[in-house]
Chains A and B, each alone.
Chain A
Amino acid sequence: MTAWIDFARGPLFRLCFALMVLGLLRIVLITLLGVKEAYQRSSDKIVSWKEIRRQTIGWLFPVARFWRERPIYSLFSFLFHVGMIVTPLFLASHVLLWRNSVGFGWPALPQEVANWLALLVIVTGTGIFLGRVLHSGARELSKFQDFVWPLLIMTPFITGYIASNAVISPRAYQQMMLIHIYSGDLILLMIPFTRLAHCALAPLSQLVTGIAWKFPAGSGDRVAETLGFADRPTWVPKARLATAPDAAQPDTKGESRK
């Protein structure tokens, strides 16, 4: 069993981690290129970057937004995310493992704090799982995988917590570690291919939405043409005006919107 554990936290972990990083890089890059292409296709370059920035930052630190709707669920969800990110990154034994394997490390959390954080993840994870099951709307909306995700994500936390805190036999300890490491690797591997990808994509959402509302000029006509409706009766301008700029006064340019 030791060999299996060593394999999972050595080569397998490195593989899963690399795939996660590359996979996330890929979709982030695809999204950003999509944004660039869409921006170039649209003739309207007036984008309210300020609003996009405001909303993005607002959702990354949504403390003020909990109380608006479903406050308990939202609070639990936020704490769940905080614990889920902080605990594995700053657990002393994880940092040590990383240091031994890659050669550098970073300061770790005291074990006491890490324990509480792991408990927090387990409690809030159970909470948001129940929130999904008990809220009639969310339950109807959810698919099978939506119920499985919180459980799968809690698995390494539960097993990790038991392994490092409970007084158990060495054999049980090893079993816990086995589940802990393999489930952790599995989650890392699945991140870029599933909706867990929102860990990298969610900060881009406001940008994507903002740009997606910028429609390319003439797209409606081109769609109609492709569908064979080119001769559908409509108002036909004498000359194609879509690209010709208005006779705007120099001092009024772009003043209507910043």
Chain B
Amino acid sequence: MASVMKVLSKPLTPEEREKAFKSSKKVEVLARQRLPVRYHVEDFDVEDRPRRFLEAFASILKHTNYRLALDHYIRVTTRCARCAVACPIYDATHDPHDIPCYRSELLLSIYRRHFTVSGVLRARLLGDPGLTDEKIQELADSYYNCTACRRCHFECPMGIDHALITHLGRYILSEIGIAPRALVVSTREQLTGATGNTSAIPVPALIDTLEFLTEDIQDEKGIHVPFPVDQEGAEYIFFTAVSDYMMEAETLKGIAAVMKATGGSWTIGTGYYDGINYGLFYSDQVMEHALQKMQVEAKRLGAKKILMGECGHASRTAKYFYPTYCGGKDALPVISILEYTQQALKEGRIKLDPSIVTERVTYHDPCNFSRTGWIVNQPREVLKAFCADYEEMAPNGRSNLCCGGGGGTVSIDEVRPYRTTVSGRLKAEQIRRTGAHYCVAPCANCKKQLRELVEDQGVECEILGLHDLIYKAIILPPDPKPEEELDETAGGSVKLSKGGES
């Protein structure tokens, strides 16, 4: 792997560097916020930032479990820089400030200085002034340069999880009003707005879209494939990145086709239909509230399982934090559509035509799926079942490279030059090397980022979701007569226990 990264990396030219790190802020915004970070921050009280930062830090330490990790990390960190070689950002910039360990050290040093006895004593002795505005600026810049892809975690011999530190750092910053405007505006609409979702899609528009998609499938495949809405007692309640309803028609059609072919009982709730949870990227409170909205909707419709669409961060948040905030071991099980489809394929309940997709296909592992080892082989099994020319990227699977838009940065349009020249640099080369015509990325964020990436870097490759390809190749059973339909819906449901083990 080391060799792969060495071959791929090309140094950043000075022009690229300047473009990538240029602040897009207007002068008056800069004057008001007094913080030249590249992404915009919300207008907020700018006075006394260090004190408010420490207050927020103290409050978070009091109510959460982060102190355990911080205490441990400051005792074991050896700063060996082994993580540097694992970091795609450092590989592009070769700036020591982009080494994951350096990034973590920014926050760990604040913790050591202000929240440990020895740190406070040492500061007294040496006359250390403590946290300054400059340090907060560096922190704010650094923590949104990181895409929170967690690749470095595997390379740290001391087991330090730099992404946890990034998560905490961003949380503290958000509590003093420093957070990307794009994320804050979206979650405000999601949590307090009239539409209740991040893309502000009202229910009538959603219904229109779904009807349109059904008609579309009827035209293309000649079969009626419904998108069930508000069906009480359905087995699965479906959440996906709400932007999919605007941008990823093919993915949704593929998912509906799979559900139709397997006879799965599923529904989309009009009370809440957004899987996106930007809280994972900057605020535990937002994360909890968004998940609770999901819980309320699942309860309203009496769903038994939560089915997540093609979205990495949404699926990870639901899978790993739904139990945290919504009932522990009694919480509803969460499964991904990727698991569902693979399981159905294994059981022979969907049929895919291997003669449709003849172009070379490659698969991009969304970090939030693969890093924990949750979804690595499932989509590959599906792809290999009907794509003759399948090519792996290197590295792949659990140690894949981030698309460059992780950690919510993909939603920040101001940082597009950074994403496509710095954080996605290796990914572009990786895709180019496979020579693939299709790059499958089953994640709304990855798709958006990769499309911008191949456009800016001039890579000839079409980015799509797994179910886009499935939709092309799926053989749907002809519409049954009304009396047969009943039998079919009663018969087919995925056995979850098998899906969970795979």
Note whether A and B form a binding pair.
yes
Shortest CB–CB separation between residue A46 and chain B, in angstroms?
A: 6
One of B59, B94, B157, B335 near A59 (C-beta < 8 A): B157
One of A67, A69, A205, A233 near B82 (C-beta < 8 A): A69
Contact (Cβ within 8 A) B2 A71: yes
Point out the residues of chain A lying under 8 angstroms from B373, CB to CB. 51
Point out the residues of chain B lying under 8 angstroms from A253, CB to CB. 329-330
Could you tell me the distance between the alpha carbons of A204 and B71 in the complex, rounded to whole angstroms? 12
Closest to B153 in A: A209
Contacts A77-B80, A137-B96, A201-B75; is A245 near B331 (CB within 8 Å)?
A: yes
Q: Does A4 contact B (CB under 8 A)?
A: no
Point out the residues of chain B lying under 8 angstroms from A137, CB to CB. 81, 84, 90, 94, 96, 99
Q: Which B residues from 281 to 297 make CB contacts under 8 A with A?
A: 283-290, 292-293, 295-296
One of B1, B158, B305 near A202 (C-beta < 8 A): B158
One of A198, A208, A255, A256 near B78 (C-beta < 8 A): A198
One of A132, A206, A224 near B159 (C-beta < 8 A): A206
Closest to A247 in B: B299
Contacts A55-B159, A198-B75, A226-B62; is A215 near B284 (CB within 8 Å)?
A: yes
One of A216, A226, A235 near B292 (C-beta < 8 A): A235
Point out the residues of chain B lying under 8 angstroms from A229, CB to CB. 175
Point out the residues of chain A lying under 8 angstroms from B96, CB to CB. 136-137, 139-141
Point out the residues of chain B lying under 8 angstroms from A146, CB to CB. 78-79
Q: Does B115 contact A (CB under 8 A)?
A: no
- Which among A45, A141, A142 has the highest number of chain B CB atoms within 10 Å? A141
Contact (Cβ within 8 A) B82 A59: no
Q: Which B residues from 70 to 117 make CB contacts under 8 A with A?
A: 71-72, 75-82, 84-86, 90, 94, 96-97, 99, 101-102, 105
Q: Which B residues from 349 to 396 make CB contacts under 8 A with A?
A: 372-373
Point out the residues of chain A lying under 8 angstroms from B331, CB to CB. 245-246, 248
Could you tell me the distance between the alpha carbons of A219 and B105 in the complex, rounded to whole angstroms? 25
One of B65, B85, B285 near A211 (C-beta < 8 A): B65
Contact (Cβ within 8 A) B2 A222: no
Contacts A235-B289, A256-B500; is A214 near B65 (CB within 8 Å)?
A: yes
Q: Which B residues from 100 to 137 make CB contacts under 8 A with A?
A: 101-102, 105
Interface stretch (choices B320-328, B410-418, B426-434, B470-478): B320-328
Point out the residues of chain B lying under 8 angstroms from A1, CB to CB. none
Q: Which B residues from 40 to 75 make CB contacts under 8 A with A?
A: 55-56, 59-60, 62-69, 71-72, 75
Q: Does A130 contact B (CB under 8 A)?
A: no
One of A59, A142, A224, A238 near B79 (C-beta < 8 A): A142
Contact (Cβ within 8 A) A255 B497: yes
Closest to B188 in A: A233
Shortest CB–CB separation between residue A182 and chain B, in angstroms?
A: 24
One of A135, A226, A242, A257 near B325 (C-beta < 8 A): A242
Could you tell me the distance between the alpha carbons of A55 and B155 in the complex, rounded to whole angstroms? 11
Q: Does B223 contact A (CB under 8 A)?
A: no
Contact (Cβ within 8 A) B72 A223: no
Could you tell me the distance between the alpha carbons of A132 and B96 in the complex, rounded to whole angstroms? 13
Point out the residues of chain B lying under 8 angstroms from A202, CB to CB. 76, 157-159
Q: Does B181 contact A (CB under 8 A)?
A: no
Q: Does B219 contact A (CB under 8 A)?
A: no
Q: Does A212 contact B (CB under 8 A)?
A: yes
Contact (Cβ within 8 A) A221 B288: yes
Q: Does B164 contact A (CB under 8 A)?
A: yes
- Which among B72, B164, B188, B399 has the highest number of chain A CB atoms within 10 Å? B72
Q: Does B425 contact A (CB under 8 A)?
A: no
Contacts A43-B327, A142-B79, A257-B319; is A252 near B160 (CB within 8 Å)?
A: no
Q: Does B161 contact A (CB under 8 A)?
A: yes
Could you tell me the distance between the alpha carbons of A218 and B79 in the complex, rounded to whole angstroms? 34
Q: Does B483 contact A (CB under 8 A)?
A: no
Shortest CB–CB separation between residue B65 and chain A, in angstroms?
A: 4
Per-residue 0/1 for B290-325: is the Cβ within 8 Å of any A Cβ (1 yes, 0 no)?
101101101100101100000000000001110111
Q: Does A115 contact B (CB under 8 A)?
A: no
Contact (Cβ within 8 A) B75 A246: no
Point out the residues of chain B lying under 8 angstroms from A234, CB to CB. 191-192, 285-286, 289
Point out the residues of chain B lying under 8 angstroms from A43, CB to CB. 323-325, 327-328
The number of chain A residues with a CB under 8 A from chain B is: 86
Point out the residues of chain A lying under 8 angstroms from B225, CB to CB. none
Contact (Cβ within 8 A) B327 A220: no
Could you tell me the distance between the alpha carbons of A138 and B100 in the complex, rounded to whole angstroms? 11
Point out the residues of chain A lying under 8 angstroms from B105, CB to CB. 141
One of A31, A70, A209, A233 near B85 (C-beta < 8 A): A70
Contact (Cβ within 8 A) B72 A204: yes
Q: Does B271 contact A (CB under 8 A)?
A: no
Q: Does B146 contact A (CB under 8 A)?
A: no
One of A56, A77, A198, A226 near B63 (C-beta < 8 A): A226
Point out the residues of chain A lying under 8 angstroms from B2, CB to CB. 67-71
Contact (Cβ within 8 A) B327 A246: yes
Contact (Cβ within 8 A) A246 B299: yes
Point out the residues of chain A lying under 8 angstroms from B80, CB to CB. 73, 77, 132, 138
Per-residue 0/1 for A69-82: is the Cβ within 8 Å of any B Cβ (1 yes, 0 no)?
11101100100000
Contact (Cβ within 8 A) A201 B72: yes
Closest to A69 in B: B85
Could you tell me the distance between the alpha carbons of A243 and B292 in the complex, rounded to whole angstroms? 11
Q: Does B501 contact A (CB under 8 A)?
A: yes
Q: Does A6 contact B (CB under 8 A)?
A: no
Per-residue 0/1 for A36-79: is the Cβ within 8 Å of any B Cβ (1 yes, 0 no)?
01100111111010010001100100100001111101100100
Contact (Cβ within 8 A) A241 B295: yes
Q: Does A197 contact B (CB under 8 A)?
A: yes
Contacts A141-B102, A219-B284, A242-B292; is A69 near B333 (CB within 8 Å)?
A: no
One of A35, A56, A223 near B64 (C-beta < 8 A): A223
Shortest CB–CB separation between residue A83 and chain B, in angstroms?
A: 17
Residues of chain B at the chain A interface (Cβ within 8 Å) = 1-2, 55-56, 59-60, 62-69, 71-72, 75-82, 84-86, 90, 94, 96-97, 99, 101-102, 105, 153, 155, 157-161, 164, 175, 188, 190-192, 196, 283-290, 292-293, 295-296, 298-299, 302, 304-305, 319-321, 323-335, 372-373, 399, 496-497, 500-501
A215-B321, A246-B299, A253-B330 are known contacts; what are 17 more A-B pairs with Cβ within 8 Å? A34-B71, A38-B65, A48-B372, A67-B1, A137-B94, A137-B99, A195-B77, A198-B76, A208-B159, A209-B153, A220-B286, A234-B192, A235-B196, A237-B296, A241-B292, A255-B497, A256-B500
Q: What are 5 A-B pairs at a CB distance below 8 A?
A: A51-B372, A69-B1, A215-B321, A237-B292, A256-B334
What are the nearest 7 A-B pairs in CB distance?
A220-B285, A205-B159, A256-B333, A245-B330, A140-B96, A138-B81, A212-B69
